[in-house]
Amino acid sequence: MERRSMPSRRTEYRATEESGELYIEGYFAVFNSNYEVCPGITESIAPGAFARALGGDARALTNHDTTLVLGRTKAGTLELREDGHGLWGRVTVNREDTDAMNLYQRVKRGDVDQCSIGFDIGSEEVEFRDDGSAHWTIREVYPLYEVTVATFPAYEETAISARSAETERARQKQVQTWRENMKNRLKRSDT
């Protein structure tokens, strides 16, 4: 499972109250917003990436902690939808859950204002740039396991290592393909 942090300037969510119900809502991911995985490697999520994942059973968590479930799509306490801006979500806060109420108040005060998502990559593309950097575009997220309200969302070291290794493998493949093409050209020019 991949985990991606989404800084608040890109995701913006809030605590709200409507008709006596409490909600935490907003964008858990924003399309076409570049974020740095590690130096020289950036990533973005393409519009439409969540289309297939929205039929699954996702959870809303606190700090990726599976013991702190705020809501769930299957239970109807987490609503997720994709629009032109990104992945929007709304969690119905359980007033009987002190952890959920404490988090609601922290979001309301602005003490907690970032989020993260946990998912598998269904499809992606990589672009190698002239400056040696690489940019990955996630075309499909499937499945989407979680959306998380997070205090310090960050890539776990394993996710950084995995993406760095993928970048190196893709670069090696690109060089190998170039070499094979050059050998074939030389063979053709010799005949």
Contacts (Cβ under 8 Å, ≥6 apart) of 78 = 58, 59, 60, 70, 71, 72, 89, 90, 91, 92, 147
CA distance 79 to 68: 17
The pLDDT of residue 9 is 42
pLDDT band, very low/low/confident/very high, at 188 (cuts 50, 70, 90) = confident
The pLDDT of residue 187 is 78
The pLDDT of residue 11 is 55
Cβ atoms of 121 and 138 within 8 Å: the answer is yes
The pLDDT of residue 157 is 34
pLDDT at 159 over 60: no
Structure tokens at 36: 């740095």
* pLDDT, tens digit (0-9, with 9 covering 90-100), for 98-112: 999 999 999 998 888
Cα separation values, 11 from 3, 28, 35, 67, Å:
15, 6, 12, 24
pLDDT at 94 over 90: yes
The pLDDT of residue 2 is 63
- Using the Cα atoms of residue 35, residue 142, residue 64 and residue 158 in order, give the sign of their dihedral: negative
